[in-house]
Chain A
Amino acid sequence: MALISDWTQLGDDVFYRKHEVYSMDWGGGINLADFMVASAPYGGPLALTRDESRFTKTHQTGKPLIFIFSSSGKKISSFKIDPSAVYFVDKKWTSGFLLTLGWSRGEDLVCVQEDGAVLLYDMFGNYQHTFNMGQEAKDTHIQSSQVFTSYRETGVAVLTKSNRIFMVNNIHEPKTRKYPDLPGGAVNCWCVVREERHSNVLVSQGRDLLLLNHIDERPQALYPQWNEPGGSVVEMAVSSNSRHIALLSDSGKLWIGSSDIRIKYCEYDAKSQVKPRQLAWCGTGAVVLLWEVTLEVVSVNGEATSYYLDSSSHLAQEADGVRVVGSTCHDLLQKVPQVVVDTLGIGSMAPGALLLDASKRFQERSTQANDCLDMIKDSMEEAVNQCLQAAQHQYQPQAQKMLLRAALFGKSFIPEMNPEPCKKTIFTLRVLNAVRDHRVGLPLTWSQMEHLTLPVLLDRLVHRRFFPLALEIANFLKIPETDGTSRILAHWACFKVLQPSQKSDEHIAKEINSKLGYTPGISYTDIANRADQAGRKQLAIKLIEYECRAKEQVLVLMRLGEDQTALRRALQSGDTDLIYTVLCRLRQKLSSGDFLMLIRNFPVAQALHMRSCQDLDTEQLRDILVQEDDFLGQGLLRVKEAYNSSRADTKLAALQGAAELFRRAKHETHLQMTEEQIKLYRWQIRLEENQQKPYTDKSLHDTIHHLLLDGQIKEAEKLRTEFKISEKRYWWLRVVAHAQAGHWDELAALAKNKKNPIGFEPFVEVCLKTGNKLEAQKYASRVKEENKVSCLIKCGLLEEATKIAHEQRSASSLAEVLAACGPQHQALQSRLQQLLSDPSLKS
């Protein structure tokens, strides 16, 4: 069967399969033997640089040229390591010899130089950052180095020419750790063995195997159990999960065991004195030795098999296999998962295998299908799951389809089965097939994908600038916008702003906006910041226009120095706090005059500024009013000053100032009132001087009132004429004052005056107010006819009131009197009721 033709048995029921994933786009012209190659796990990119050590022993002359390819051999970039980047860190940089290439977890290229400098580039050759392995490493130079994956991050370990080991556990927080000193003598080989939170180093030196960790002061000697002791280890490899290790001795013996060397799984004789080009793990079940054109696979049980290659190759170790990159093709070697063996293995009677058979027979319209189904009646669900899982581990879409068809066929017999696993398998396989495509070149296996998780995969696609594909996947899998679409679009936009373009900034900004719109979770602030960092300030300004969060927008605009726009946007937001913030900054930045001229154009801003001045800075406020030729405003400000000044002269000056300004403002009423106040104030000062009584700060009314109370009628008269007080008001004043002072004679005299303009109601009321009912009664009968009844009632003259009301023949007046009757007026009450019953009354 074609499906298992690439399987090789390696022990009981254990199979390995090797199949081509790509034929390399770079054509056949590359002899990998001439290159130093670094491959990133999870089907990541390949970095190649000419291995100068193979040609000359002298130091390289130029800068090393690095090529980056995708797994399918498509060139992503090529670049020279740029010494000027290092220059920032170390001014005494001398061209360092490139020692090792490696990839970080975030798929950045890590370049370790002989002088201890570590440089990071992204896969497009953009310089990221750099650090140093310490002074000692720099001084003594490095003989070899390793880039490894540590607990959560990527680390770098170096061995100096003075046999010292230094390590940085996280390249993003480079803290150099020194490991215990090694004894003198050549090191055969070494590797980093990661443990939970720290890393150990295993070194082969002479015939010894030494373990170094950063806690112990001395290296610890280890003694693996060799069948024939006495050899020295020349090559070693740790499995991707760090649990297992393979050691190769100078006599060609391969020792496989646990990474702490305590347990030995097997020992295998490779029967070769030649050191292999590469030693690597294939998943966790086998070790692979690579010679020029031979690949030897040794399982942990000691079973072995060989493959012949058509060119010199490079091994890329994965968690569940190993990729073999050759000059023309790229193969994947992995252990066939057990479920696949069960389902596809020859003669397998596993439910999955039977279901697959049944499905095939069914499609052939053969009745044998029924026989197969009969056999797995009771284990249909298991059969379905097996087919599904087998499909997951197939690389070829046809094989996937065949198995999925079988799974779905089986599932149709169990209607209650959870559809989620099926759905997930189908959806994920579609995504996997899409990213495995030649043009993308991410040869991920199902298990790798599970481990990597979908968000990381999206990130990697975005990183590789496959924006449309990432978007498609996000939409296809219905990932929430904030994790999917908007994040991808935001990355796209950030990438877009960094790309040099012929188009105008306005155009680019529009283009970005047309794609992004107002997708939730998109931050134009981030994009604008990115543009600004890239030195494209104008583009940043255009972009931030699209930010809908006012606060962010305004803060960025201010940072970009676009203060006017910032002010405009702050005003639009209605957020006064934001407006004040911009105003504050403008005040600091501009001269006072410029500032005032600027805010003139923004009425709300000006109003807010004036308001804050009102509390803090009256002079500034006056400046604005002067600038605006606002005489009325200035005048009112003066009036306020007059309120607040306690000294008579300043008060007068302020009032006069105000009057002058009101005159200029042509505000007649204000002018008149203010002038009157000045006149009154002067008058009051004079009165105070003459009478030694406080008069200032009293109103005109109160001044006259007090004069009248004091009996200074002449003085009051003078004021009346001076201030043109109406007869009515003056009469009122007099009536009130006389009554209050108890000047009943004066009041009576006033009542005799024929020119009375206010009638006698005030007389009555005022008398009543002072509690003098008797005096009130004197005037009650002289009030206007219509008010007579109520006045008489108020004075307690109910009999008279009744009489008048009766005369007026007014029902309402009679009722009024009736309402005023108390229990002591029973006689009157009945009389009133009698009067009220008269139908001829006016209502």
Chain B
Amino acid sequence: MTGGKVDFALIREATRLELVKLLDGIPGTKAIVWDEKLAGPFSQVADYAFLRTHDVCKMYYINNSKLPPNNVAHIIFLSRAHTQLMDLINQQLRMEEALGGGKKDYHLWLVPRVSLLCEQRLEEHGVHGTFASIRELPLLLYRLDSDLTSMELPMCYRDLHLGGDPTCLFLVAQALMTIQGVFGLIPNIYGKGAAAKQVYELMVRMRREMGGNEPQVTPQIDQLILIDRSVDLITPLATQLTYDGLIDQFFTINNCTVKLPGEKFAAQSNSDSGTVDNASEIKTIQLNSSEELYAEIRDFNFSAVGPRLSHHAKSVVAQYEERHTAKTVGELKQFVQKIPQMEAYKQSVATHTAIAELIQERITQGIFWPALQMEQEFLKGLDTDKVNPFVEQCIAQKESLNTVLRLICLQCTVNSGLKPRVLEHYKRDIIHTYGYQHFLTLENLEKAGLLYPHQGRSTYAVVRKTLQLTVDDVSEHDPTDMAYVHSGYAPLSSRLVEFLQVPGWRAITGVLQVLPGPTLTETQQLPSALRQRRGSGGSVQSGLEGGTALVFFIGGCTYSEIAALRFLSSRVDQGGPEYIIATTKIINGDTFLESIAEPLPT
């Protein structure tokens, strides 16, 4: 996907400029000592080749071992602003000093900002003065695609609901200020949920703090829609059935790459794309929207992926067959010229066929289908108020705990809590089967609002009905409704976004009241100079009917929600806006529950 009007690549460019400024501010050879957690996402901003052109010739990691000997002039510690990391940096610095590394300059770059707490920690260690410079690299958003950016904060929901730690809200607000710095002030802000409101309030504060130094950029984004994850806890618990969603659920996509078991790819390992050493090894695949085929099928319901792939396979064959029709030398030459392109296409079809096969295997195995069926019944609101025999049976058979918890939490969420007796029964069964070490996880789930005793009547029925969350005859192959992403269930969050445009939130006040947290409808006054410009043509609104809307998920979003919003975007001709999406992290049922679970002692 190479960008509508608003492309997050601009944000990446801005970050890259900051980075270059920092790098070029230090003349001479440099080594970067990475915070390991940053290295992955950072590759989206600047890869090694890029860094090399700026005199970075060595890369190490921040850990408790000493740095290898090197002859660079500057050592740069590139780290997130966490005190534990400062402790490690201190250790490494000490070891360097013991080796007499006095000739080098040491620098510290903190992402996304210099934290007083970190500086204080360094001062306590007595190494604050050792650094020739301490700078900040305001890297908050990692571009995943032209319309998708993530803050890579997997613990956001947990921090908010278990730790009472609002740090991520502050960061989200800062990220939004960054976005506004690049794309201009966003005039209309909507939101649902407590976190949405807090973020908005922080944005107002930050805008005031900036005083008159607001960026003079013509607004390119018309709406901001803030969605607090706690408004829609159903969607992350439901099984995603899009291609992307399934890849993520089975194999986990990280920074646009997925690691797959290698055996399926062994046959094609002769071609050079990807890295396969051995058939039994892991194969790493880049999932990149610049690959046409992937861009086409990524948001398809999986049942439509197979037919599409076979269509492409046929077209590959057809393309190769053209060589027989090539009679003249000229035609032959034309054909030969097309070969590299065809090879890439063929490779692409082969890769995705292999992935699809892997997914197909997982789907037919185990309890995927029965669990999905159960889940769909829950989503329809059937029999959610008593102990579910299927879940019971899953526990009895000691199926994966995540699946069990996912189902129970889903049941609990759509039922607005479980009857104490039912809840107790589930809890006891889980402890009996999976062990007491999950006791705290259950407690965490309760705090996180996923597993709790009954509180009043279930409101799900009215929400489901008003927002048409379940659609019976949804077409998976030629979707006319976003519900195709879960084969019959439309993500609540995405429906809220859809309803915001038509018929407007005022029409669904009943539902908004029932959903947790306040509803936000605000406008931001633009600086007068920009207001005039907007009015006098060249405006965002007149350029494109529906304009652009940024949907920001606070607490993570799923690939199914992304697919649903892209589905809405694809219907711009119907007057809706084009959506771009930002999230604290892309999640799925498993990663979401794991982020909440109590880590077990190893």
**Contact status A699-B116, CB under 8 Å:** no
Most buried by B among A636, A698, A701: A701
Residue numbers in B under 8 Å from A728 (CB-CB) = 392, 396
Among A122-130, A415-423, A638-646, A825-833, the one that faces the other chain is: A638-646
Instruction: Report Cα–Cα, A521/B213, bound state, in Å.
Output: 9
**Smallest CB-CB separation from B431: which chain A residue?**
A673
Among B141-149, B255-263, B437-445, B497-505, the one that faces the other chain is: B437-445
Interface residues of A in 484-517 (CB under 8 A from B): none
Q: Is A653 an interface residue (CB 8 A)?
A: no
**Contact status A607-B165, CB under 8 Å:** yes
Give which listed residue, A482, A581, A699, contacts B432 with CB less than 8 A. Answer: A699
Give which listed residue, B164, B167, B213, B396, contacts A729 with CB less than 8 A. Answer: B396
Instruction: Report Cα–Cα, A504/B437, bound state, in Å.
Output: 62
Residue numbers in B under 8 Å from A481 (CB-CB) = 212
Q: Is B169 an interface residue (CB 8 A)?
A: yes
**Contact status A518-B163, CB under 8 Å:** no
Residue numbers in A under 8 Å from B211 (CB-CB) = 518-522, 548
**Contact status A581-B117, CB under 8 Å:** yes
**Smallest CB-CB separation from B113: which chain A residue?**
A577
Q: Is A576 an interface residue (CB 8 A)?
A: yes
**Contact status A643-B170, CB under 8 Å:** no
Q: Write out, one digit per residue, whether chain A residues 546-564 have a CB within 8 A of any chain B CB (1) or not (0).
A: 0011100000000000000
Q: From residue A89, how far is it (CB to closest CB) to chain B in Å?
A: 32
Interface residues of B in 150-169 (CB under 8 A from A): 163-167, 169
**Contact status B115-A577, CB under 8 Å:** yes
Q: Is A744 an interface residue (CB 8 A)?
A: no
**Contact status B212-A520, CB under 8 Å:** yes
Query: If the complex has contacts A518-B211, A550-B205, are A584 and B117 also in contact, measured as CB distance less than 8 A?
Result: yes
Query: If the complex has contacts A639-B439, A643-B601, A728-B396, are A574 and B81 also in contact, measured as CB distance less than 8 A?
Result: no
Residue numbers in B under 8 Å from A603 (CB-CB) = 164
Q: Write out, one digit per residue, whether chain A residues 723-742 have a CB within 8 A of any chain B CB (1) or not (0).
A: 10100110011001000000
Residue numbers in A under 8 Å from B173 (CB-CB) = 574
Q: Is A473 an interface residue (CB 8 A)?
A: no
Give which listed residue, B81, B164, B424, B601, contacts A604 with CB less than 8 A. Answer: B164
Instruction: Classify the interface of chain A: helix, strand, loop or mixed.
Output: helix
**Contact status A732-B163, CB under 8 Å:** no
Q: Write out, one digit per residue, whether chain A residues 585-608 have a CB within 8 A of any chain B CB (1) or not (0).
A: 000000000000000000110011
Instruction: Report Cα–Cα, A53/B169, bound state, in Å.
Output: 74
**Contact status A669-B443, CB under 8 Å:** no
**Contact status A732-B81, CB under 8 Å:** no
Q: Is A688 an interface residue (CB 8 A)?
A: no
Q: Is B267 an interface residue (CB 8 A)?
A: no
Q: Is B435 an interface residue (CB 8 A)?
A: yes
**Contact status B436-A673, CB under 8 Å:** yes
Q: From residue A694, how far is it (CB to closest CB) to chain B in Å?
A: 14
Residue numbers in A under 8 Å from B601 (CB-CB) = 643-644
Instruction: Report Cα–Cα, A698/B435, bound state, in Å.
Output: 7
Q: Is B434 an interface residue (CB 8 A)?
A: yes
Residue numbers in A under 8 Å from B216 (CB-CB) = none
Query: If the complex has contacts A577-B117, A608-B164, are A677 and B431 also in contact, measured as CB distance less than 8 A?
Result: yes
Give which listed residue, A522, A548, A610, A677, contacts B436 with CB less than 8 A. Answer: A677
Residue numbers in A under 8 Å from B212 (CB-CB) = 481-482, 519-521
Instruction: Report Cα–Cα, A736/B432, bound state, in Å.
Output: 16
Q: Is B397 an interface residue (CB 8 A)?
A: yes
Give which listed residue, B398, B424, B440, contacts A701 with CB less than 8 A. Answer: B398
Residue numbers in B under 8 Å from A483 (CB-CB) = none
Q: From residue A145, how far is it (CB to closest CB) to chain B in Å?
A: 43
Residue numbers in A under 8 Å from B436 (CB-CB) = 673-674, 677, 680, 699
Interface residues of A in 611-625 (CB under 8 A from B): 611, 615
Residue numbers in A under 8 Å from B205 (CB-CB) = 548, 550, 572-574
Residue numbers in B under 8 Å from A670 (CB-CB) = 439
**Contact status B396-A669, CB under 8 Å:** no
Residue numbers in B under 8 Å from A644 (CB-CB) = 601
Interface residues of B in 198-249 (CB under 8 A from A): 198, 201-202, 205, 208-209, 211-213
**Contact status B431-A574, CB under 8 Å:** no
Query: If the complex has contacts A518-B211, A574-B202, are A725 and B432 also in contact, measured as CB distance less than 8 A?
Result: yes
Q: Is B373 an interface residue (CB 8 A)?
A: no
**Contact status B435-A673, CB under 8 Å:** no
Q: Is B393 an interface residue (CB 8 A)?
A: yes
Q: Is A268 an interface residue (CB 8 A)?
A: no
Q: From residue A476, how far is it (CB to closest CB) to chain B in Å?
A: 20
Residue numbers in A under 8 Å from B598 (CB-CB) = 640
Query: If the complex has contacts A548-B209, A581-B117, are A611 and B163 also in contact, measured as CB distance less than 8 A?
Result: yes
Most buried by B among A522, A574, A611, A643: A574
Q: Is B120 an interface residue (CB 8 A)?
A: yes
Q: Is A344 an interface residue (CB 8 A)?
A: no
**Contact status A733-B396, CB under 8 Å:** yes
Give which listed residue, A576, A636, A697, contacts B170 with CB less than 8 A. Answer: A576
Interface residues of A in 733-769 (CB under 8 A from B): 733, 736, 762
Instruction: Report Cα–Cα, A673/B439, bound state, in Å.
Output: 9
**Smallest CB-CB separation from A640: which chain B residue?**
B440
Q: Is A580 an interface residue (CB 8 A)?
A: yes
Give which listed residue, A548, A672, A725, contacts B208 with CB less than 8 A. Answer: A548
**Contact status A643-B600, CB under 8 Å:** yes
Q: From residue A364, how far is it (CB to closest CB) to chain B in Å?
A: 47
**Smallest CB-CB separation from A645: which chain B residue?**
B601
Residue numbers in B under 8 Å from A762 (CB-CB) = 393
**Contact status A574-B166, CB under 8 Å:** yes
Query: If the complex has contacts A584-B120, A669-B427, are A697 and B166 also in contact, measured as CB distance less than 8 A?
Result: no
Q: Is B377 an interface residue (CB 8 A)?
A: no
Interface residues of B in 414-455 (CB under 8 A from A): 424, 427-429, 431-437, 439-440, 443
**Contact status B431-A699, CB under 8 Å:** yes
Instruction: Report Cα–Cα, A672/B423, bound state, in Å.
Output: 14
Instruction: Report Cα–Cα, A673/B115, bound state, in Å.
Output: 43
Give which listed residue, B201, B397, B435, B443, contacts A699 with CB less than 8 A. Answer: B435
**Contact status B120-A673, CB under 8 Å:** no
Instruction: Report Cα–Cα, A432/B205, bound state, in Å.
Output: 42
Q: Is A578 an interface residue (CB 8 A)?
A: yes
Residue numbers in A under 8 Å from B81 (CB-CB) = 577
Q: Is A575 an interface residue (CB 8 A)?
A: yes
Q: From residue A643, how far is it (CB to closest CB) to chain B in Å?
A: 5
Instruction: Report Cα–Cα, A578/B170, bound state, in Å.
Output: 11
Most buried by A among B116, B120, B173: B116
Instruction: Report Cα–Cα, A636/B443, bound state, in Å.
Output: 9
Q: From residue A677, how far is it (CB to closest CB) to chain B in Å?
A: 4
**Smallest CB-CB separation from B121: which chain A residue?**
A584
Instruction: Report Cα–Cα, A576/B172, bound state, in Å.
Output: 13
Query: If the complex has contacts A673-B436, A700-B433, are A607 and B397 also in contact, measured as CB distance less than 8 A?
Result: no
**Contact status B164-A611, CB under 8 Å:** yes
Residue numbers in B under 8 Å from A725 (CB-CB) = 432
Q: From residue A802, how far is it (CB to closest CB) to chain B in Å?
A: 22
Instruction: Report Cα–Cα, A702/B435, bound state, in Å.
Output: 9
Q: Write out, one digit per residue, whether chain A residues 357-398 have a CB within 8 A of any chain B CB (1) or not (0).
A: 000000000000000000000000000000000000000000
**Contact status B434-A699, CB under 8 Å:** yes
Residue numbers in A under 8 Å from B163 (CB-CB) = 607, 611
Those 3 A-B pairs whose CB atoms lie nearest each other, nearest first: A520-B212, A607-B164, A699-B435
A residues lining the B interface (CB < 8 Å): 481-482, 518-522, 548-550, 572-578, 580-581, 584, 603-604, 607-608, 610-611, 615, 636, 639-640, 643-644, 669-670, 672-674, 676-677, 680, 697-702, 723, 725, 728-729, 732-733, 736, 762
**Inter-chain pairs besides A581-B120, A674-B439, A676-B431, 4 sampled, C-beta below 8 Å:** A574-B170, A577-B117, A636-B443, A639-B440
30 interchain pairs, CB-CB under 8 A: A481-B212, A519-B211, A520-B211, A520-B212, A520-B213, A521-B212, A522-B211, A577-B115, A577-B117, A607-B165, A610-B164, A639-B439, A639-B440, A640-B440, A640-B598, A643-B600, A669-B428, A673-B436, A677-B436, A697-B435, A699-B433, A699-B436, A700-B431, A700-B433, A701-B398, A723-B432, A729-B396, A732-B393, A736-B396, A762-B393
